[in-house]
Structure 1
Amino acid sequence: MQHKPISRLHIGAMLFPLCLVLYEFSTYIANDMILPGMLHVTQEFGVSSAWVPTSMTLYMIGGASLQWLLGPLSDRIGRRPVMLGGVVWFVSLCLAALIANNMGVFLALRFLQGMGMCFLVAVGYAAIQEAFEEKTAIKVTAMMANVALLAPLIGPLTGAALMAFTTWRMIFVAIACLAAVAGVGLYFTMPETAPRSKTPFSYHSVWLDYKAVLTNRRFMSGVMAISMAGLPLLAWIGQSPVIIMEGEHYSSLDYGLWQLPVFGALIAGNIALATLGDRFPIHRVIGVGGTLVFAGTVLALSLTLLFETHFKGMAIGLGLYAFGLGLGNAGIFRLTLFASDVAKGTVSATLGLIMMGIYAVGIEIFKAIYRAGGEGWFAGTFVLTGLAFVITLRHFMGWDKPGQPLPPVPTE
């Protein structure tokens, strides 16, 4: 029987999102918690610190690698079995870090661990959008984002604390335990929002579904807007350990504290979205958020050039950007997911696949720009990315064509 979308939040309805966000938190913290230990990893294996952001890149590539299969598969056999299988995979690969004995093995494990995010994006997010009605889903997404965003705040500080008395390998053991708890919770609380299809799985039918999604211009412009909006944040996460700890010789604790202006503002933006979601049309909220995203990238560049310690100005400017991102991103995601009529597992997988691919390539480009030109050029690239976001968002929302109807707001 098809799951009926939930229109009102209550304790019982929130159990599934809470368990899913705990798994989401574990996949995010698998990136953030190891960052203070990455210099120890490179030193142990005798390689350059240039591999620090590459480790994150491979994690992101892993997060895109399976989505093409998992979305359509969950459309046909159900969300639950695919999602629960993903939890088992992620827990196993985190524990496998105990046997890493060189940088090649470590990077391979990072790629395989990243696959754990595929299940979250292609299956978990689709299940959330299907389990709740539109306004409720946006609220749930914003609240989930707040919990998940604790990873970049708690992760570096917790990782630094663990590194004070144990090895970096134990960080992955702790992450595996957290993900296992989430998996048990999902087993008992996750509804089946996509009952088993009578249509057998075939690569031809999968291709036709993907073709329909990829040729949808509005959907593609929404995906590009989401990707461009998030790229400066991902570039900051990937490069800031090198900028702050290696470049400026700050401690891992200081590194963690300088994440607060960025991720604290991002959480504040999500709280504002949850508060304003019922009071204003989602298109207006997206417009305000998009304006702040671009203004924040410009401010980040300006303060980077003005501050003697460049990364401090960059972090403060990115705070404004992050607030706008938190305010508008969930709404853009919802409208993009429903811009196509194809089954939502396939649509969500396409969105995640493109998004993760852009993030992986973008992080490497930002890394190369930083190594070639320093903080000024690095921050300047934020502005170019913000401009690309504005252009693609205007096209997605129809703001560049007066009289064109706005993307429909889905009711279920």
Structure 2
Amino acid sequence: MQNVQTTTLSRATLMFPLALVLFEFSVYIGNDLVQPAMLAITKDFGVSSSWAPSSMSFYLLGGACVAWLLGPLSDRLGRKKVLLGGVTFFTVCCLLILFTDNIESFLTLRFLQGFGLSVISAVGYAAIQETFEERDAIKVMALMANVSLLAPLLGPVLGAFLIDHVSWHWGFIAIALLSFFSWFGLKAKMPEQKVSIPKQPFSHMVDDFKQVFKNKRFLGLTIGLPMIAMPLMLWIALSPVMLVEELGLSSMQYGLAQFPVLGGLILGNIVLIKMIDKLPLGKTVLMGLPLMLLGTVIVVIGLFIPQYFLHCTILGMTLVSFGEGISFSVLYRFALMSSNVSKGTVAAAVSVLMMFSFFFVIELVRVLYESFHLWAYGLSCFALIVLWYSFPRMMLKEVLQERKEAGEF
């Protein structure tokens, strides 16, 4: 187990998260700006628009495939070295994609760019959790989420501008520049790792991962994370096709439709920050999930009244995103702390499970969407939230009961 020296949140200590969130923003807008442009990109490459969601799923698959290595590597070499190396790799991949001339090479580079997701989740988030006290760490995660949410808010609008006025290539140039600037901030402000880790060979990684994945509580809490995040991920992946191709919205109307949905997530994170010191930790999850269930029910109702489907979906997804905002950061903290294995390895395990879940569910729903269209989207969102009320909810209840018995607020 690691011996970690934490610190309190202040203006000085906040500079590292701000530098990290600049990179997080560049990685996220690397998806949110590109997705609206995928209809134009598939047209340029002469392939069907059904390939559009694959840009996002391959991005997520890239993150899933490398997370198992980055977390343990950062345990041994230090978070800072691995994080800086990951930022450099992501920046280079954003520039290389400018030279692609077919959908296969484009998706290959999207896969490699996806490594940036694991750099954040398996290395950056682990460093945040180690640096700050429990509630401060959750506040920092929520603050970072709000800043990074500018990506899905601005991305669709900027993507629409790229489609209408310039080439999609300029989007990747801008993303590379943002990532490049974040490297300097992390180099200057990221603290050196203040942990004591036994120097073990990399062969011990397998034993560490076995210990993590045998932990029933870890599995329950971690599996619950993609169930909560997936409806919004499906919205981001499929909304270009749903809103523009199926419902006939313009590119700008599509971009504006993102504001209430993603605004709900921002509001949820703000409410979490305000409430976290006033309620037992975990209480907001029990408040957020019923709202998410209600939101998916409203989306399903919209399927039965097609003329109001857009209104029901935006309202329902706004409730879903708000519920996610007051729930996700707390559940992530519980999942990361559910095992005594070094936090880089645990964060890597969380990232692997989440990214693979995102990839397979998005690809499955993409295939289903070709046959069942809006029904595939609406019923998938509803099913994911219903599934959370099984094993993940049971594990959360156990955690909350133990914290209550231990007198932890």
Q: What TM-score do you get using the length of structure 1 for normalisation?
A: 0.94
Q: Deviations over 1:310-356 (max 9, x none)?
A: 23321211111111110011101001100000000000000000000
Compared CA separation, residues 408 and 362, structure 1 to 2 (3 A): farther
Partner of residue 7, structure 2? 6
Kindly state the Cα deviation for residue 6 of structure 1 after the two structures are TM-superposed.
1.6
Partner of residue 99, structure 2? 99
CA contact (8 A) 1:35 1:156 kept: yes
Check if 1:235 corresponds to 2:234. yes
Worse-superposed segment, 359-368 or 212-221: 359-368
Worse-superposed segment, 298-307 or 382-391: 298-307
Taking the aligned partners of 1:377 and 1:362, their CA distance within structure 2 comes to 11
Kindly state the Cα deviation for residue 410 of structure 1 after the two structures are TM-superposed.
12
Taking the aligned partners of 2:195 and 2:138, their CA distance within structure 1 comes to 23
**SS of structure 2 residue aligned to 1:279:** coil
**SS of structure 2 residue aligned to 1:282:** coil
Partner of residue 33, structure 1? 33
Task: Read off the aligned partner of 1:72 and give its amino acid letter.
Answer: P
Compared CA separation, residues 97 and 196, structure 1 to 2 (3 A): farther
CA contact (8 A) 1:16 1:189 kept: yes
Taking the aligned partners of 2:333 and 2:197, their CA distance within structure 1 comes to 24
Compared CA separation, residues 196 and 162, structure 1 to 2 (3 A): farther
Check if 1:222 corresponds to 2:221. yes
Kindly state the Cα deviation for residue 297 of structure 1 after the two structures are TM-superposed.
1.3
Task: Read off the aligned partner of 1:277 and give its amino acid letter.
Answer: I
Check if 1:335 corresponds to 2:305. no
Taking the aligned partners of 1:181 and 1:222, their CA distance within structure 2 comes to 35
Compared CA separation, residues 44 and 196, structure 1 to 2 (3 A): farther
**SS of structure 2 residue aligned to 1:398:** helix
Worse-superposed segment, 135-144 or 383-392: 383-392
**SS of structure 2 residue aligned to 1:12:** coil
Kindly state the Cα deviation for residue 2 of structure 1 after the two structures are TM-superposed.
7.2
Partner of residue 120, structure 1? 120
Task: Read off the aligned partner of 1:59 and give its amino acid letter.
Answer: Y
Taking the aligned partners of 2:288 and 2:354, their CA distance within structure 1 comes to 19
Unaligned 5+ segments in structure 1 are none
Taking the aligned partners of 1:51 and 1:182, their CA distance within structure 2 comes to 31
CA contact (8 A) 2:365 2:376 kept: no
Taking the aligned partners of 1:173 and 1:242, their CA distance within structure 2 comes to 25
Taking the aligned partners of 1:410 and 1:132, their CA distance within structure 2 comes to 21
CA contact (8 A) 1:123 1:348 kept: yes
Kindly state the Cα deviation for residue 163 of structure 1 after the two structures are TM-superposed.
3.1
Write out aligned runs for 1:286-325 (5 A). Answer: 286-325=285-324
Compared CA separation, residues 151 and 409, structure 1 to 2 (3 A): farther
Kindly state the Cα deviation for residue 406 of structure 1 after the two structures are TM-superposed.
4.9
Kindly state the Cα deviation for residue 306 of structure 1 after the two structures are TM-superposed.
2.9
Q: Deviations over 1:371-394 (max 9, x none)?
A: 211213420221111111122332
Task: Read off the aligned partner of 2:304 and give its amino acid letter.
Answer: L
Task: Read off the aligned partner of 1:281 and give its amino acid letter.
Answer: P
Kindly state the Cα deviation for residue 197 of structure 1 after the two structures are TM-superposed.
4.3
Kindly state the Cα deviation for residue 63 of structure 1 after the two structures are TM-superposed.
1.1
Partner of residue 42, structure 2? 42
Partner of residue 150, structure 1? 150
Write out aligned runs for 1:152-191 (5 A). Answer: 152-191=152-191
Taking the aligned partners of 2:153 and 2:146, their CA distance within structure 1 comes to 11
Taking the aligned partners of 1:299 and 1:309, their CA distance within structure 2 comes to 11
Taking the aligned partners of 1:65 and 1:407, their CA distance within structure 2 comes to 37
Q: What TM-score do you get using the length of structure 2 for normalisation?
A: 0.95
Task: Read off the aligned partner of 1:132 and give its amino acid letter.
Answer: F
Q: Deviations over 1:222-278 (max 9, x none)?
A: 011111111111111101001111112211111111111210001100000000000
Partner of residue 362, structure 1? 361
Partner of residue 253, structure 1? 252
Partner of residue 72, structure 1? 72
CA contact (8 A) 2:234 2:377 kept: no
Taking the aligned partners of 2:276 and 2:72, their CA distance within structure 1 comes to 31
Kindly state the Cα deviation for residue 90 of structure 1 after the two structures are TM-superposed.
0.2
Check if 1:405 corresponds to 2:406. no
CA contact (8 A) 1:2 1:193 kept: no
User: Structure 1 vs Structure 2: percent identity of aligned residues?
Assistant: 40
Taking the aligned partners of 1:184 and 1:305, their CA distance within structure 2 comes to 52
Compared CA separation, residues 407 and 45, structure 1 to 2 (3 A): farther
Please, what is the CA RMSD of the aligned residues? 2.1
Taking the aligned partners of 2:388 and 2:67, their CA distance within structure 1 comes to 24
Task: Read off the aligned partner of 1:359 and give its amino acid letter.
Answer: F
CA contact (8 A) 2:240 2:254 kept: yes
**SS of structure 1 residue aligned to 2:48:** coil
Kindly state the Cα deviation for residue 408 of structure 1 after the two structures are TM-superposed.
9.2
Taking the aligned partners of 1:351 and 1:250, their CA distance within structure 2 comes to 37
Kindly state the Cα deviation for residue 196 of structure 1 after the two structures are TM-superposed.
7.4
Equivalences, count: 407
Task: Read off the aligned partner of 1:80 and give its amino acid letter.
Answer: K
Taking the aligned partners of 2:308 and 2:49, their CA distance within structure 1 comes to 21
CA contact (8 A) 1:335 1:410 kept: no
Task: Read off the aligned partner of 1:209 and give its amino acid letter.
Answer: D
**SS of structure 1 residue aligned to 2:278:** coil
Taking the aligned partners of 1:390 and 1:178, their CA distance within structure 2 comes to 39
CA contact (8 A) 2:32 2:152 kept: yes
Partner of residue 274, structure 1? 273
